[in-house]
Structure 1
Amino acid sequence: MTQIDRDTDELVGEWLTIKEAAKALNVSPNRIKQLIREHRLLGVVRSGELSVPAAFLVDGDTPKGLQGTLTVLSDCGFTENEALRWMFTGDDSLPGSPIEAILANRGTEVRRRAQALLL
């Protein structure tokens, strides 16, 4: 797993450890690690512990559109840090950040922008 850089850590804000994420989704910590491997979640090491952004877990699930976006970013060759920066950085064309748009059920718009990165 990738070690998070300070700027990205601050940009993301709230984090959950693997144990906290597992509790939020009512699954085992191993299942969280599997979701990270499958690009359904994105995890990084911060303060020596594997963690995921709290914004990636809503009402006991992952937000619709998150998995597809993370897959596209991975296909574009983004590292975990780069993907997190992209997801949490404001984009005037959305408006807001990609994660805010996903949480507002505008995942298709976000994936379109991510797919444009492939070109």
Structure 2
Amino acid sequence: MSIPTHFKSGRTGPGAAYVSDHEGSVHARFMRLSAYALAPLGALSAWWLVGVVGKPLEGVRAEIGRPVPAIVLLAFAVIGMIHAYHGMNEIIVDYVHDEALKERAHKANKWAAIAIAAAWTLAILLIAAPK
């Protein structure tokens, strides 16, 4: 038993709006790969940040001033903010329906991601810089 529908597969006809144009596959692949990168970077970042708890400022500077911890913390910040930026853009596309508000939300998302990544990077560089 089948139920008749008006849906027709393909790019033309009544079902054209429901056929994937594969635009989301690049985004999905990027989000998956960046999540794979963020897992070990997040664990290493947490390891180093928990390791400096209770140390004096000079001990923190010595620990984070080494190349590997500084690079891991910076990579975590930058990749994390790019991942968050793209994720928030998808939320905006899905749930904000007013075009003017959508445009403002995209701009605010872009500037917030840049500001957070820049603040994190500046903080790491200032902590790691020798005095």
- TM value normalised by structure 1: 0.25
- TM value normalised by structure 2: 0.23
Identify the structure with the greater strand proportion: 1
Q: Which has the larger radius of gyration?
A: 2
Identify the structure with the greater helix proportion: 2
